[in-house]
Amino acid sequence: MTRKLLKKRGKKIGAAPGTLIHVGEKSEAAPRIHVFDYDQEHLDQREYPDAASCLALRDTDTISWINVEGLHQVKVIETLGQGFGLHPLVLEDILNTDQRPKVEIYDDYIFIVVKMLIYDTEHEGVRTEQVSFVLGNNFVISFQECHGDVFDGVRERLRSGRRIRFLGPDYLTYALIDAIVDSHFFILEKIGDEIEQLEDELLDDPSPESLNQIHRLRREMILLRKSVWPLRELISELGREETPMVSRETAVFLRDVYDHCIQVIDTVETFRDLLGGMLDLYMSNVSNRMNEIMKVLTLIATIFIPLTFIAGVYGMNFEYMPELAWKWAYPAVWGIMIGLGIGLVFFFKKKNWL
């Protein structure tokens, strides 16, 4: 399965700024809205039927995590955006799922775009999904392209009443970003196993399928690099102490995520170098195999050149050829040809050409 590096924009081209057009894969399923509304003592977890029913959460004393799965129905995003006072350009960026990871700081909220990577075990590849976060004073809204994510650990921590329930929405945002970064390590472990197996195949018996695997993995590395490099800048900006709505305590945790992000980047660059070397190794092995084939064919042709010459001389239809009347001419020619062939073989072996 080949994944596109750029998504088709279609009607998006030439539209006015703030025009709400979904850019990404279409889905027939209705968007799902899951809400965790909590404080230190209580937790309310439910699925809301529509976007309008979530608007009252903006003015509560509790902290609310509103998770929207599915962006193809623009009306849902527009209703949430108007209810929580989001800028039209923010809504446009949420719907445009080909965004570069970034952070934008507004007066009363922070807008964050990241790429969530999920390992597709069925196709043995990486699936990239855009996740947008809106961090407010008492809420976090996350927008996902489709169902399925890496946030189960965060949900479990909320249910169990751990530290996350005693801190603000900025810490919740940190926990969600940290889950995304940690998932990169799992993906890199899977890719690392594939690279090791592929390297053994290249050394033993390279095949055209090995070349396809190399190209697929190099493509995955491009997607990973596009997702991780901007994420480093994003986390660095969020971790600055002067960033509003991010407490000093949360900034310390964000710096830890920054370190993890650097580790991911180093691993991605290492894998890219390995795959580049493996491509050179494959081409070298194929070239060496072709050279061996050509060497054998050349030696065989070289042995038969003098034999063909002799056969050609005595195959001429001249009437007066003294050897033709000789009784032992036929076995003599055979002896010369066999001896010449054997002599060439020994000569090639002496030169280590065979």
Question: Average pLDDT for residues 83-93, to the nearest whole number?
Answer: 89
Q: End-to-end distance of the chain based on CA atoms, in angstroms?
A: 44
% of residues, the chain, pLDDT over 70? 92
- Check: CB of residue 94 under 8 Å from CB of residue 20: no
pLDDT given at position 142: 92
Which residue's structure tokens are 């445009």? 96
157-182 b/e (C-beta count within 10 Å ≥ 16 → b)? bbeeeeebbebbbbbbbbbbbbbbbe
* pLDDT grade for 1, boundaries at 50, 70 and 90: very low
pLDDT for res 2: 47
12-69 tens-digit pLDDT = 555 666 567 766 677 777 888 899 988 888 888 888 888 888 888 888 888 889 999 8
Mean pLDDT computed over 232-247: 80
Position 134 confidence tier, pLDDT thresholds 50, 70, 90: very high
pTM, full prediction: 0.77
Task: For each of the domains in the chain, give its residue range(s) and CATH number, in order of start.
Answer: 22-285 (3.30.460.20), 314-350 (no CATH)
Give the lowest-confidence range in 73-87, 171-185, 279-293, 335-349. Answer: 279-293
Rounded (10°) CA dihedral 59, 60, 65, 68? -50
79 has pLDDT over 80: yes
Cβ within 8 Å of residue 117, ≥6 positions away = 126, 127, 128, 129, 180, 183, 184, 187, 223, 224, 227
Read off the pLDDT of residues 240-285 as tens digits, 9 standing for 90 and up: 766 778 888 888 888 889 899 999 899 888 888 888 888 888 888 7
For residues 170 and 250, the answer to whether their CB atoms sit within 8 Å is yes
User: In this structure, what DSSP letter does residue 311 have?
Assistant: H
Strand partners for 126: 119
pLDDT of 112: 92
- Tens of pLDDT, residue by residue over 292-337, are 888 888 888 888 898 888 888 888 877 778 877 788 888 888 898 8
CA–CA–CA angle 73, 102, 96 (5° rounding): 25
